[in-house]
Structure 1
């Protein structure tokens, strides 16, 4: 992850997009901090640990869109990291799951199937409450 440019979206959601302009270490948005000397694996681990709900996705992923909509419906706005194609391999290897990948409270949930399983079993909201994921 050479450089990441963050831009806040509605509801506090943050999308990170690799960008050459950010390679100089510029930072926009309060949710992410980037250290150019930090290896991608450490950055991913730190990001997962610092944010209650994180989704790693590829640009234009319809499953990620559904995940974001479901979480927004229950009142949670996750940190969303959209990875460029070259970054997907490093992130997937570090996270030990495929994309999209959801983490709640630092623990891997999986993709859309894992999120839907939590939701349908009634365990999603209590788990989100336990990690302090609700805004306001």
Structure 2
């Protein structure tokens, strides 16, 4: 049930970040996307009454706990901060964002 909720939330926008309000790595990922001109949505699990269930589902998806931040682009799981940064440094993030309709440049 929580995994279905994750998929539904992840499909609502081109870029969706599951995070926590006090997470510095969540802030770093949000800043990266903002500086790239990408509009994103964030779901802060610590402010969600069902956040613990979502957190467990995300941990299973990414294979680590805590699983925040976890990024979805175009409804597809990209992963945590290290995966996003790796894609960015490798020049693969911009094409992925363009394909999802999150970036038009």
Q: Pick from 50, 59, 69 the counterpart of residue 31 of structure 2.
A: 69
Taking structure 2 as the reference length, what is the TM-score of the superposition? 0.80
Q: Runs of at least 4 residues of structure 1 off by over 2 A? A: 39-44, 85-89, 92-95
Q: Give me the whole-angstrom Cα distance separating, in 2, the residues matched to 1:91 and 1:40.
A: 5
Deviation at 1:93, TM superposition (A): 2.8
Structure with greater helix share of residues? 2
Using CA pairs below 8 Å that are at least 6 residues apart, which structure has the higher relative contact order? 2
Give 1:92's aligned residue. 55
Which residue of the partner structure matches residue 80 of structure 2?
A: 111
Distance, in Å, in 1 between the alignment partners of 2:31 and 2:10 is 20
CA RMSD of aligned residues (A): 2.1
Structure 1, unaligned runs of 5 or more: 1-38
Structure 2 unmatched runs, 5+: none
The secondary structure found in structure 2 opposite 1:109 is strand
Matches of 1:104 and 1:116 in 2, distance apart?
14
Q: Give the distance between the partners of 1:110 and 1:87, measured in 2 at CA.
A: 21
TM-score by length of structure 1 reads 0.63
